[in-house]
Amino acid sequence: MTEITKSEKLLRSLAPVMTGTKGADAYNRFAKLAVVGALKDKGFEDGRNSDLAELYKKAYVCAGNFNLLVRFSFLNAVGSFIWDFASGVSVGKSMGEKTYASSKGRYSKWVGKGAEKNWRDLNITGMVLVGLDGNDEIRFYYVGREEFLDLGKDRLIVKPNGRPEWEEAWSNLQFEQTFSSVL
């Protein structure tokens, strides 16, 4: 079993206080703050992310001309990140082509039939996966909308160095300031 690091212990206690909620919702809200900070490190700031109450209400972070869906994961006992995109109990089954919910009774507006419409309606062009690794470092992975939808999974399980192309995609991601992002 992996020991809980000091950073993980601190984040587990701070996230609920900082975000006003508990559990996965607190960590996903924290991930939004981490993405907003990482965007600033890249030289990009979108004023629509300034109001935390509004940011927490949205499913995404604003990034100029498009929006980014965000999820958070701690490194688990077997050394993997697990990002979840549905509610209910499952074993990470594929959502399938013809259903909006998995065969295990899970529901997701981000995966499966009808999900693409949600992504397009909210102008979400990709997913930023945020993970706290065993070395107390926050890692960012970017998966584009089409690639994510093609995966058809309601849960992604990734080792820290298991998808270098997603880490590279995040590193290479560039953002253009827009009129709405500077307001």
Give the contacts of 176 (CB within 8 A, at least 6 positions apart).
Answer: 64, 65
Number of domains present in the structure of the chain = 1
**Residues in the chain with pLDDT values less than 50:** 1, 90-95, 97-101
Q: 152 lies in a domain?
A: yes
Q: Which pLDDT value is given to residue 97?
A: 47
Tens digit of each residue's pLDDT (9 = 90 or more) over 165-183: 999 999 998 766 655 555 5
**β-bridge pairing 138-144 and 155-158:** unpaired
Q: 166 lies in a domain?
A: yes
Q: 150 lies in a domain?
A: yes
Q: 56 lies in a domain?
A: yes
Question: How many Å apart are CA 183 and CA 54, to the nearest integer?
Answer: 15
List the beta bridge partners of residue 70.
128
Domain range for 151: 6-182
Q: 1 lies in a domain?
A: no
- Give me the sign of the Cα torsion angle 142, 149, 58, 124: positive
Q: 87 lies in a domain?
A: yes
Tens digit of each residue's pLDDT (9 = 90 or more) over 88-110: 654 444 445 444 445 555 678 88
**pTM listed for this prediction:** 0.84
